[in-house]
Amino acid sequence: MRQIALDTETTGLAVSAGHRVIEIGCIELINRRITGQQWHRYLNPDRLVDPGAMFVHGIRDEFLTDKPRFHEVMDEFLAFLGDSELIIHNAPFDLGFLNHELRLAKYKQTKRLEDKYTITDTLALARTRHVGQKNSLDALCKRYKVDNSHRDLHGALLDAEILAKVYLSMTREQASLLDTENTTTQVEKPTTVRILTNRAPLQVVPPTPEEAAAHQIQLAAIDKASGGRCLFRAVEEAETGEVAVTTQP
């Protein structure tokens, strides 16, 4: 199974305001392992970066002047994606910008990436698991103990790498039945434990009258607190055919 953790940086927050993609970072995972294969490009957006966006990612206009345009690397980018599942944090944001770039590049094979690829939005996934809590990438790093101490600024490749690790931590229980140390699934044979028939019998030590009385008092208290739903008391009554009546001192 091949997956791609993907992140972008942009000149601003809204496609409708004419903002563009300036960085794309992709990290490859195969069978829930980060392989070390990656795809990363900075892009010339043919417009200025908003100061607010520059404060977040630190990418300056002069740095982007000699970088390729999206249409120049589009085929290379799509070839790296292949037919993989895409893992994106807050997917509608990145997909909106990438779909806009594809439209500007006159890409005709598909109108939207989500029409071609299976998308896993880790923000949506986190919101179902951690209702009412912060679910930013930084918050998830803290929650799942993923080291992001080297993340002073946002960066598409760095964030994609962090995202891949967060995703693996978030979904670890989904692969608990698989052997993640091997590329093929191995099922262990059950171990049969045989009990010797000539073993010594277990010694049964009956309670003292004081212990039995204390036990009944405790069951009565539980039965009262649970509105008559004390399971242990019901079992004892079923076994003895008697209804226990206990008077607390």
| Predicted confidence pLDDT, tens digits, the chain (249 residues) | 999 999 999 999 999 999 999 999 999 999 999 999 999 999 999 999 999 999 999 999 999 999 999 999 999 999 999 999 999 999 999 999 999 999 999 887 777 999 999 999 999 999 999 999 999 999 999 999 999 888 877 899 999 999 999 999 999 976 544 444 444 434 444 445 555 666 677 677 888 888 888 888 888 878 777 777 777 777 777 666 665 554 444
Q: Which spans in the chain are helix H?
A: 51-57, 61-64, 70-81, 91-104, 113-116, 122-129, 137-144, 156-170, 209-225, 231-240
Tally of structural domains, the chain: 2
CB 101 within 8 A of CB 70: yes
Same domain, 165 and 224: no
Domain residue limits at 222? 209-240
CA distance 105 to 123: 28
Residue 154: active-site member: yes
The secondary element (H helix, E strand) that includes residue 160 is: helix 156-170
> Would strands 2-10 and 85-88 be described as parallel, antiparallel, or unpaired?
parallel
Name which of 184, 185, 143, 186 is nearest 165 in CA terms: 143
Is there a domain that residue 200 lies in?
no
Look at the pTM and tell me if it is higher than 0.85. Answer: no
Separation between Cα atoms, residue 73 and residue 173, nearest integer Å:
37
Is residue 199 assigned to a domain?
no
> Of 153, 175, 197, at which residue does a domain stop?
175
Helix (H/G/I), strand (E/B), else coil: 25: strand
12 with 75, same domain? yes
Domain containing 82 — which CATH number?
A: 3.30.420.10
Tell me 24's DSSP state: E
181: in domain = no
Question: Taking Cα atoms as reference points, which of 90, 104, 177 lies closest to residue 139?
Answer: 90
Q: Is residue 146 part of a domain?
A: yes
Q: Which residues contact 131 (CB under 8 A, 6 or more apart)?
A: none
Name the active-site residue from 40, 71, 130, 154: 154
3-state secondary structure of 226: coil
Q: Could you tell me if residue 40 is inside a domain?
A: yes
Domain assignment of residue 186, yes or no: no
On whether both 37 and 158 belong to a single domain, the answer is yes
Q: Is residue 145 part of a domain?
A: yes
- On whether residue 194 sits in a domain, the answer given is no
User: Could you tell me if 141 and 213 lie in one domain?
Assistant: no
Residues 18 and 140 in one domain: yes
Q: Which amino acid is located at 10 in the chain?
A: T
